[in-house]
Structure 1
Amino acid sequence: MSPDTHRATAAAILPLVGGPDNITSVAHCMTRLRIGLHDRALVQDESLKALPAVLGVVDDDTYQIVLGPGAVARVTPEFEALVEEGRAGAPRAAEPPRPVTAAGLADRGAALREARKARNATPLKLFLRRVANIFVPLIPALIGCGIIAGLAGVLTNLGLLPTLVPALAAIASGFMSLIAVFVGYNTAKEFGGTAILGGAVAAIIVFPGVAKIEAFGEHLSPGQGGVLGALAAAYLAVRVERLCRRWVPEALDALVTPTLTVLVAGLATLFGLMFLAGEVSAAIGAGATWLLAHGGAFAGLVLGGLFLPLVMLGLHQALIPIHTTLIEQNGYTVLLPILAMAGAGQVGAAIAVYVRLPRNRSIRTTIRSALPAGFLGVGEPLIYGVSLPLGRPFVTACVGGAAGGAFVGLFNQLGVAFGSTAIGPSGWALFPLLHGGAGTVPTLAIYGGGLAVGYLVGFLATYFFGFTRQMLADLDTDPDPEPTSTTAEPAKQPALT
C-alpha cells in the first residue's frame, strides 16, 4: 500500500474514535493500534469494523483496532500526525459511509467483549496486562532478529556464503544480548518511573564484570536471570525512585534520587534478584522441556485447546515473558508452534460456518474478509466477528486447536523438538521463524501437518457439532436480500387464507 492509503485509513479511523480531542495516547503492537480514550462512548464500533482496513476491535484497558502485521506500523504514525494536526486546528477527515456488515453478530460480539472486560478487571489480570505492555514494543525487533538468525542457520547448513554468516549472527544476536536493558527501560516507563533508570539497573545483569561477584555461594554469570531479572530489577527501581521523590528535598533531588535508585536497586539485583530470577528462568526452561518430552501429545492438546480462550480474554500476551525466557535459553520457544494451532482450529471452524450458512451473505462476507488474516495468525476478527458470538463454533474451534496441538506435541515427545526463534507471528507467518534440531524440512513438515490437522478437525467439529437445528433455521437466511430488478417478471404471491 502507498503512504496515501495508510493516511486515508488513519483519517477514516480518527473521527470514529471521537476525534483528536478524545485521544489520550497512541501506541501499537504487532497487529493492533492501541488508543487511550477520554470518553469511550464517543467510539463508533460498528463503523470502525466496517472499514476495509480494520480486521476487528478489542475493548480493553486501551481501545485496540486490529489492522494486521505491517499495516499497523505504517498507519500508527499517520494517525498520530492527524491527531496532532487536529488539535492544532487542521481540518478533520469526514466520517466514511457505513457499509452493511454482519451487524447481529457484531453487536453480540461487542456485548461479549464488554462482559469479558468487566469480569477481568481484577488486580492480577490488570498487572499481567501491564507486564505484557512491557514486551509488546520489543516484538518487531524479536521478529527481525529471529528471521535473520534463521537465515544464518540455513546458510550454515547449506555451506553457503561462509563469510556472511558471522555478520548475520552478530546482527541477530546483538539485540538478544541486550534485551534485558530494553525490558528494564520499558518496565520503568510502564510503572511510572524514569525509563532510563530502569534500563541502567537492568544493564547490570548483562555486564560482564558481574562474573567477579559472588551471591548465595556462587559466582554470578552475565545474563543470569535474563528478562525476568530485568523486569524485577526495574520494578524495584521504580519503587525506590518513588520513595526518594517523596522524602528527598527538591534542591537535592537531581543528585540524590537517581543515585539512590541505581545504588539500592543495583545492590538488590546483584545480591538477590539475579540469583532468584535465574532459578525461576531455569525452572521455566526445564519445565517446558519436561512437559513436552513426557506429556507431549496430551500437553499439546491442553495448550492448543485453551489458547483461544486466553486470546478472547486478552491474557495471551502475559505469556510473552515465558517465550522470551525460552528464546534466551534455547534460541527458540517450543510453546509458540503448539499455541499457534489454536488459530488453525479457528480458521477451520470459520470455513465450516461459511459452508453451513450458504444463504447468509452477511456472515459469509465477514468470513471472507477475515480469513486471510486468520491464515496469518490474526484471530481476533474471526473470534469476535464469527465464532464467539455464535457460541458453539467457538468451542469446536478450540477442539481443532487441541487436535493440532496434540499433533505437534506428539513429535516433541518423540524427540523432534522445535520452536520459534521469535514471538508475534502465528499461522503461516510463523514458517520463516521455525528452528529445530531435526533440520529445516522435518520442522516445516511437522508444523505444516499440525496446521492441516487443526484446519481439518476444526472444520469437521464445527460442521457436524457447531450448530443445532434451531440455529441453522435462524441463521441460514439472507438478512439483507438483494433487491429484485423492476423489469423482472413479478413472482406469484401466496394465496391468503
Structure 2
Amino acid sequence: MSTADAPHPSALAAQILPLVGGAQNVESVAHCMTRLRLGLRERTLARDEELRTLPGVLGLVADGDAYQVVLGPGVVGRVTREFASLVEGGGSAGGGATEGRSAEGHSAEGHSAGDGSAEDRSAEDLAARGAALRASRKRANATPLKHLLRRIANIFVPLIPALIGCGIIAGLNGLLINLKWLPSVTPALAAIASGFMALIAVFVGLNTAKEFGGTPVLGGAVAAIVVFPGVAKIDAFGQSLSPGQGGVLGALAAAALAVQVEKWCRRWVPESLDVLLTPTLTVLLSGLATVYGLMYVAGEVSTAIGEAANRLLGNAGAVAGFALGGLFLPLVMLGLHQALIPIHTTLIEQQGYTVLLPILAMAGAGQVGAALAVYVRLRRNASIRRTVKSALPPGLLGVGEPLIYGVSLPLGRPFVTACVGGAFGGGFIGLFNMLGTKVGATAIGPSGWALFPLLQGDKGLAETAAIYAGGLLVGYATGFAATYAFGFSHELLTEWNAEPKPDVEPGAAPEPGPAPGEARGARVT
C-alpha cells in the first residue's frame, strides 16, 4: 500500500490502537526514525495481519520487547503523538475508526483482501512467509546478549532527531565557511550545531537510567561528570582527566552503575532516610567510580574504536567495506543495527563524522536493486509489483523494512542477492577510503538519498558526494544484476510469476494465455 493512500495521522493512530489490544494493553509509546515502538502488556492481543493491511502501515516488526509498526520517516512522529494522546485518553476514539476501515476493505484498490483473486493470494502468501520468518528469527535470537543490545539501542534511538538536526546544521555551516558567506552568522550556527554534542553525555545518562529502571535525573547527574570542565583538575592513573574523556561510552557506563547503586540503596536504606541518602549515595559512589575508573577505561575504548576504524578502512578498505555492506541487511532484519549507534556516535565525537555509516548505507542500495529485479522478473504478478512500487520510495530514502519484510526476505534468494549488492557498494566506498578519501556522515539515522545533506569527509563536499553517489549506483546495479541472474529458481518463478486473471470486456478478444494443460506461470524467459 502506498503511503500516499495513508489516512490522516490521527485517523491512522485511531485505526492502529484497537489492533494492538486497545489503550489498556499499551504500556509504553515511543518512536525512532521510521517505527512506532510499543510496549504491550499482552502480545497475543495484537492482530498482526489486520495491522499489516492498514493503509499507511509499511511493515511490522514484532521482535524482542518492542512491538514495532513501520510507518516511515516524517509520518511516524505525527502518528506517535496522536497515538500517545489516544492512549492517555483511554482510546475511546479507536474502535469506530477500525470498524469504518473494515467496512471499506480495500475499496481504494478495487478489491478486498479476501476476494480470492490469484494476484491477491500471491501478495497474502508473501506476507505470510515474511511473518513466519520474523517469528522464527525472533525465537532464534531471543538471547541475553541480543536483548542487551536492543536495550542499548533504546537508549540512543530517542537522540537521533537531535543528531540529524545538528548534523545538517553543522554541514550547512561548513559549506558557508568554505564559501566565505555570512561570516557573522557562522559562529552562531557552530554553537547551535555543537551544543547538543557537547552535552550528549547527559542525555545518554538520562536515557540509560530510564531504560534500566533507575531515576533518570540521577543517571544524567552522574553522566554529566564526564563533560564537566572541572575534571581536568583530577589526576587518575598518573595523568589528568580531560573533559569528555570516554564520551558516550563513559556516560552509558556511569549511568548504568548509578542505576545499580540506586537499586541497592532502595533495598537497604530505611524508608525514613531514603529521600536523603539514596540520591546522595548514588551520585557520590557512582561519581567516584566514574572519575577514578570509568572515564579512563571508556576513554581507552573510545580511542581504540576510532583507531580501529581508521586502520581497518585505511589498510583494507575495499575488503572491509565489502564485508560491512554485505552483512548489514541481516542486522536490519533482526533490528540489531541500532546497537551500532554508540560506535557511530563515538566516531562523530572524535572525528566530526562516522566513516562507517555511508558504507553500511549501501545495504539499502542493494535492497533497492534487488527489488527492481523482482519487479522485472515477476512481470505477471501485479500484486507483488504493486508492493514493490509502493515500497521503493521509502527504500530510496533508506527505509528498508517494507522491501525486506514485504518482498526480498519472504522470497529467499533475493534477500541474499540484495546483500551481494550491498557488499559491492560498500566495497566501492571502502576502496576510496583505502586510497585516502574518507567518506563520512555528520549524524546517524538517514541513509540512501537522505544521507546526502549529512555527508562530510577529508576532501571537498563535491568529491565526497560523488563517491557516495557512485557507491549507491554500484549497489543498485549489482543488486539488480545478481537478483535478475541468480535470485530466482525455476520453481520460484513458477510459484510467484502467475498471470492474473484478465478482465475481458463483453465482445473483446481475450489476451493470449497458457496453452491447455500448461502450468500457469511455467513459461520462463
TM exceeding 0.5: yes
1:79 to 2:83 alignment: yes
Aligned 1:158-237 pairs, distance under 5 A: 158-237=179-258
**Is the CA contact (8 Å cut-off) linking 2:331 and 2:337 kept in structure 1?**
yes
- What CA distance in whole angstroms lies between the structure 1 residues aligned with 2:249 and 2:511? 71
Aligned 1:28-107 pairs, distance under 5 A: 28-60=31-63, 61-87=65-91, 92-95=96-99, 96-97=101-102, 98-99=105-106, 100=113, 102-107=123-128
Secondary structure in structure 2 of the residue aligned to 1:65: strand
What is the aligned partner in structure 1 of residue 110 from structure 2? none
**Is the CA contact (8 Å cut-off) linking 1:15 and 1:92 kept in structure 2?**
no
User: Structure 1's 219 and 492: CA in aligned 2 closer, same or farther, altered over 3 A?
Assistant: closer
Aligned 1:361-372 pairs, distance under 5 A: 361-372=382-393
- What CA distance in whole angstroms lies between the structure 2 residues aligned with 1:490 and 1:230? 69
Letter in 2 for 1:218: Q
Letter in 2 for 1:26: V
CA apart distance, 1:18: 2.1
- What CA distance in whole angstroms lies between the structure 2 residues aligned with 1:491 and 1:363? 21
What is the aligned partner in structure 2 of residue 384 from structure 1? 405
Letter in 1 for 2:476: Y
What is the aligned partner in structure 2 of residue 21 from structure 1? 24
What TM-score, normalized by structure 1, do the two folds share? 0.96
Higher mean alpha-carbon deviation, 42-51 vs 69-78, is at 42-51
Aligned 1:428-447 pairs, distance under 5 A: 428-447=449-468
**Is the CA contact (8 Å cut-off) linking 1:86 and 1:92 kept in structure 2?**
no
User: Structure 1's 230 and 452: CA in aligned 2 closer, same or farther, altered over 3 A?
Assistant: same
- What CA distance in whole angstroms lies between the structure 2 residues aligned with 1:219 and 1:22? 51
CA apart distance, 1:87: 4.7
1:160-183 per-residue CA deviation (whole Å, 9 max, x = no partner) reads 001110000000000000000000
CA apart distance, 1:92: 4.3
1:413-453 per-residue CA deviation (whole Å, 9 max, x = no partner) reads 00001200000000000000000121010000000000000
1:142 to 2:163 alignment: yes
What is the aligned partner in structure 2 of residue 322 from structure 1? 343
Which residue of 108, 111, 117 maps to 2:138?
A: 117
Secondary structure in structure 2 of the residue aligned to 1:93: helix
What is the aligned partner in structure 2 of residue 473 from structure 1? 494
Aligned 1:221-370 pairs, distance under 5 A: 221-370=242-391
User: Structure 1's 89 and 468: CA in aligned 2 closer, same or farther, altered over 3 A?
Assistant: closer
% same residue:
70
CA apart distance, 1:37: 1.5
1:379-431 per-residue CA deviation (whole Å, 9 max, x = no partner) reads 01100111011100000000000000000000000000120000000000000
Secondary structure in structure 2 of the residue aligned to 1:161: coil
CA apart distance, 1:82: 1.7
CA apart distance, 1:471: 1.1
1:454 to 2:475 alignment: yes
**Is the CA contact (8 Å cut-off) linking 2:359 and 2:429 kept in structure 1?**
yes
- What CA distance in whole angstroms lies between the structure 2 residues aligned with 1:52 and 1:286? 46
What TM-score, normalized by structure 2, do the two folds share? 0.91
- What CA distance in whole angstroms lies between the structure 2 residues aligned with 1:219 and 1:379? 46
CA apart distance, 1:116: 0.6
Letter in 2 for 1:150: G
**Is the CA contact (8 Å cut-off) linking 2:378 and 2:493 kept in structure 1?**
yes
- What CA distance in whole angstroms lies between the structure 2 residues aligned with 1:233 and 1:87? 39
Secondary structure in structure 2 of the residue aligned to 1:86: coil
Letter in 1 for 2:160: I
- What CA distance in whole angstroms lies between the structure 2 residues aligned with 1:490 and 1:435? 57
1:225-267 per-residue CA deviation (whole Å, 9 max, x = no partner) reads 0000000000000000000000000000000000000000000
Letter in 2 for 1:57: L
Number of residue pairs the alignment of both structures matches: 495
Aligned 1:415-430 pairs, distance under 5 A: 415-430=436-451
**Is the CA contact (8 Å cut-off) linking 2:86 and 2:92 kept in structure 1?**
no
- What CA distance in whole angstroms lies between the structure 2 residues aligned with 1:230 and 1:491? 67
